[in-house]
Structure 1
Amino acid sequence: MGISLLCVFLITLVSLIFFGKKTKRCKWNLPPSPPKFPVIGNLHQLGELPHRSLQRLAARTGHVMLLHLGFVPVTVISSKEAAEEVLRTHDLDCCSRPNLLGSRLISRGFKDINFTPYGKEWKERRKFLVRELFCSKKVESFGYIKEEECNFLVKKLSESAVDQSPVDLSKTLFELAARILFRVSFGQSFHEIEFINKDKIDELVFEIETAQASFTYSDFFPIAGLGWLVDWISGQHKRLNDAFLKLDALLQHVIDDHSDPGRSKDHKDIVDVMLDMMHKQGKDDSLRLTIDHIKALLTNIIIAGIDTGALTMIWTMTELARNPEVMKKVQCEIRDHFGNNKERITKEDLDKVPFLNLVIKESFRLYPVAPLLLPRETMAHVKVQGYDIPPKRRILVNVWAIGRDPKLWKNPEEFNPERFIDSPVDFRGQHFELLPFGSGRRICPGMEMGMATLELGLLNLLYFFDWKLPDGMTHKDIDTEEAGTLTVVKKIPLKLVPVRVQ
């Protein structure tokens, strides 16, 4: 994690001064911990991909594991049974959020829904977003937008297919998700927006997510302002503020555009609704909105709306390219069902190709968008698998590790959608061996919208095109190297050659 010698020296020195006294022996049955260093605890054992590091530690230590990250104890959950206790049995007591520097800044002092601690304000905001954007009726009403944008995708890919040149599918699919998101949520055509660099929307989303989940000394060494000083010396504060300012500029442009009385629009979007509520709200309204609230909620919409669909489409196409026999099987099912002369895929075509649904489940198992979900914090003392977890304890649920648990899955590293044939396991939060969207009160509210984008996008890619590898490559050359912390992206972009089949 690159802790500099200066940082270690400062932290160690001040820590010994402040915490030199012996601590009382705890009478609770705390989860087991791996060996740790003084002061920094287990921080040195977290690599660039925490979900993988935590999986290895849990294999040696236990599926309910207590880590000491600096001076902060963190409980890590890595089994289906323990996850069910946290997310179902003790959901109410384990559904708050910790106060972390990055999430506090990006959420504008916890005025969003993703990172806000549990309470009345959070419930009102979530209820509002579900009603106005994420409910089934709203998702259905936006179906024509998804169809039009997928149709545009097919047209652009068909142009690329003429000269048989490789296409950067990673960037292409991020752009698809962004185009859908901007039209649905902001009433704006992505390609007509002048205040955003369209070629770098994936980089902007990744930068914001990295800021939200980034390592800050302030979060793990909250003593006498020392963490803040080290963050300043290391440049972490500057990186956080730079990401915040980029995001704020984008959001301010969106709000300014919606505040223009002469703006043309084809539907009243979520920004219009929030601005109307802000201007008309009374003192007794249960939901209070300010510009900061609107920007914080829009941040949630942008990040979740673009990431969920784009990343899963990228990982799915990656595994299909690596497994050509699976690619052929799913394409045969789609084309046999729809015939050879279908001009466009519509929302009515979703859920009509069951093997594609199995492929998506398998992709969720191997590549959950948020491998550790979002961090939780206990609001009361609970017991998980017989271990005590005190109040105000951070909890991480490693759904990536659960999805690769050999006790649950045969050949867990293998991409095999057929494992879900005749299996009742679903991804909607009721089966704790497969939790790409989480579960309980903090389950992702945009799941249905994200699934509609994902399914429609994949159907178009697999129905209208065959996919070849660039010259000189074989399917064994396609890597699955990851990057990221909060969400995990394919480190090396996926490049394939589209071949139009109709």
Structure 2
Amino acid sequence: MWVLIIAIVFVSVFYTIISKVKNYDLEQLKKHYSHDLPTIPFLGLSYLAVGDNEVRMRSLQTIGLAAIRRGGVIAEWFGPSLYLIVADPEIATFILKSCSDKDDVLPKILGSLLGNGILVAQVPIWRTRRKNLVPTFNMKNLNKFVYIFTKHSEIMSEKLMSMVGTGPFSIFNHFAAYNMDSVSESVLGITLNAQEKSGHPFVEAFTEGFNLTSARMSQYWLYNDYVYRCVPSYKKLMRAKKVMVDFVKDIIVSKRKSIKEDRNQNSTDAESITKSFLDMLIESSGGEEGYSDEELRDELMVLLVASIGTSAAGVGFTLIMLARHPEVQDKLYAELNEVFEGTCRSVTPEDLSRMKYLEIVIKESLRLYPPAPAVLRKVVKSLTLPTGVTVPAGCNVLINIWGIHHNYEYWGADAEQYRPERFLEGSFKHPSQYMPFSYGPRNCPGYQYALMSIKTTLATLLRRYRVLPPTDGDQFPPLRTSLEITLADAENFLIRLEPRQNIE
């Protein structure tokens, strides 16, 4: 393995030298957007990301803070590639609206697990897929999914009773099982019962595939496909992917068959049926003349991974913040008591719009801990930034969402503090200084789905339980975060639960 690593480093150095000789314009851009971080000859800042997923997140924070110190933008080589690192919302907005091409690395890594879905597809495919996908996320459809979220969050709430009084525990597995149930029913139209029983082949394959892909992202010497195919984790990933693909494929075949059988039957009012995303994708793409089974499979795989990762992280970080800030939790509980009149009745779509304080509590959690803390773009044609600086073709761009959300120029001197009320203090200095689900034409089309799932889950849990930190006290160290496919807590979301009183 060490011989392989040395060989890869040697090749990286060689290509870096060639890149710098051939790309004078990129070198000039680097000089214009200089920074104060130490670099290594030929490798630039790539050394910062060598390590596990926690190291990768620290490196993202380091370069984000460096960009903030330099007015929001810096540029540096990461091996053979120059990256423009942006922590300023104005420049980020311009680039995200101008550049829709992903970089070359991330789509390849995620594509090994997810196929060619909207998250990783090249622009021509992405544009067509998004056109078919966006209409399915209308509020009429999403409101129907609230009942699915409610059903499975109530199951989770009931099962968490066994954790009361047991001390600190990781709530992430409970979230993962809840999300697997709610997402599989809303996206695929099936019931997995992941919360009721463990060991489902799809759930186990999904977990392994997610973990293996996250691990590869922290090992830059495995980015090359030829190299990755030589290591044992590649075969494990392919086995996990096959289980996932076969499972989804069987559902697609079954769904097409049932649609065909029901086409001429009008015994049930179609408006009363909660259609899954699979149903809607088949319809919006043109039925039998629309998406192929493979195209449907790729989109469903993306929806499953993105929905589960985003919702679980959103709920997890919000609960940790509420545990650390009891005054915020008390204020939120008062709002929930007002909306639900002191009962534990099921959440309805109408309730979600009334929970204004819960909404800004979630927003502040997503500001400090965005599910996707960075997005990558590739400049295919040179473009001139609002500052007048030209970014040449061939440059990569890292939009540091974590840095934008922590930029004190836009959020104030207390940018590192958890303070939901900041979202009630008038207009932002820039409309995109808050972009937890990215920004521009290639933002996440399912962000409303994720927010409704998060709100439903929290409204269910927090009426029944008070959330406490793992240890007593009012001083807490900064959270250790980990950059996996989505942002995660390095300690796996440890909390304690205490039952609420006087709930009917």
The one-letter code matched in structure 1 to 2:435 is: L
Deviation at 1:355, TM superposition (A): 1.8
Instruction: Provide the residue aligned with 2:461 in structure 1.
Output: 461
Instruction: Provide the residue aligned with 1:324 in structure 2.
Output: 326
Closer/same/farther in 2, CA of residues 474 and 199 from structure 1, 3 Å limit: farther
Asked whether the 8 Å contact 2:205–2:241 carries over to 1, the reply is: no
Q: 2:123 aligns with which of 113, 118, 124?
A: 118
The one-letter code matched in structure 2 to 1:196 is: H
Residue 190 of structure 1 aligns to a residue whose secondary structure is coil
Deviation at 1:229, TM superposition (A): 5.9
Closer/same/farther in 2, CA of residues 319 and 14 from structure 1, 3 Å limit: closer
Asked whether the 8 Å contact 1:12–1:39 carries over to 2, the reply is: no
Q: 1:187 aligns with which of 181, 189, 194?
A: 189
The unaligned stretches of length 5 or more in structure 2 are 50-54, 263-272
The alignment's TM-score, normalised by the length of structure 1, stands at 0.82
Residue 423 of structure 1 aligns to a residue whose secondary structure is coil
The one-letter code matched in structure 1 to 2:421 is: E
CA displacement 1:397-452 (0-9 Å, x = unmatched): 101011111222231111111222233349xxx82211101111101000111111
CA displacement 1:211-252 (0-9 Å, x = unmatched): 684544476xxxxxxx5565566x3xx434533431331231
Matches within 5 A, 1:40-439: 40-46=43-49, 47-49=55-57, 50-59=59-68, 63-87=72-96, 91=97, 93-100=98-105, 101-108=108-115, 111-119=116-124, 121-132=125-136, 134-158=137-161, 160-161=163-164, 168-191=170-193, 196=200, 203-204=207-208, 206-207=210-211, 210=214, 213-217=217-221, 231=228, 235=231, 238-260=232-254, 268-272=275-279, 281-282=288-289, 289-373=291-375, 375-384=376-385, 385-409=387-411, 410-425=413-428, 431-439=431-439
Deviation at 1:175, TM superposition (A): 2.0
For structure 1, which segment, 20-29 or 457-466, has the greater mean C-alpha deviation from structure 2 after superposition?
Answer: 20-29
Instruction: Provide the residue aligned with 1:222 in structure 2.
Output: none
Closer/same/farther in 2, CA of residues 276 and 399 from structure 1, 3 Å limit: closer
Residue 142 of structure 1 aligns to a residue whose secondary structure is helix
The one-letter code matched in structure 1 to 2:155 is: F
Asked whether the 8 Å contact 1:42–1:69 carries over to 2, the reply is: yes
* Identity in percent: 21
Instruction: Provide the residue aligned with 2:267 in structure 1.
Output: none
Deviation at 1:476, TM superposition (A): 3.5
For structure 1, which segment, 307-316 or 15-24, has the greater mean C-alpha deviation from structure 2 after superposition?
Answer: 15-24
Closer/same/farther in 2, CA of residues 241 and 351 from structure 1, 3 Å limit: farther
Deviation at 1:14, TM superposition (A): 8.1
CA displacement 1:76-133 (0-9 Å, x = unmatched): 111122212223xxx1x3111123231342343xx311111212x322211222233x
Deviation at 1:351, TM superposition (A): 2.4
Asked whether the 8 Å contact 1:106–1:212 carries over to 2, the reply is: no
How much is the aligned-residue C-alpha RMSD, in angstroms?
Answer: 3.5
Deviation at 1:60, TM superposition (A): 5.5
CA distance in 1, matches of 2:418, 2:500: 26
The one-letter code matched in structure 1 to 2:453 is: T
Residue 300 of structure 1 aligns to a residue whose secondary structure is helix
Asked whether the 8 Å contact 1:258–1:272 carries over to 2, the reply is: no
The one-letter code matched in structure 2 to 1:65 is: I
The alignment's TM-score, normalised by the length of structure 2, stands at 0.82
CA distance in 2, matches of 1:421, 1:309: 24
Closer/same/farther in 2, CA of residues 72 and 499 from structure 1, 3 Å limit: same
Closer/same/farther in 2, CA of residues 144 and 277 from structure 1, 3 Å limit: closer
Asked whether the 8 Å contact 2:72–2:86 carries over to 1, the reply is: yes
Asked whether the 8 Å contact 2:228–2:234 carries over to 1, the reply is: no
Deviation at 1:202, TM superposition (A): 8.2
For structure 1, which segment, 409-418 or 263-272, has the greater mean C-alpha deviation from structure 2 after superposition?
Answer: 263-272
The unaligned stretches of length 5 or more in structure 1 are 220-226
CA distance in 1, matches of 2:356, 2:286: 47
Asked whether the 8 Å contact 1:145–1:180 carries over to 2, the reply is: yes
Residue 461 of structure 2 aligns to a residue whose secondary structure is helix
Asked whether the 8 Å contact 2:188–2:276 carries over to 1, the reply is: yes
Residue 118 of structure 2 aligns to a residue whose secondary structure is coil
Deviation at 1:66, TM superposition (A): 1.7
Residue 461 of structure 1 aligns to a residue whose secondary structure is helix
Closer/same/farther in 2, CA of residues 33 and 307 from structure 1, 3 Å limit: same
CA distance in 1, matches of 2:239, 2:162: 37
Closer/same/farther in 2, CA of residues 10 and 114 from structure 1, 3 Å limit: closer
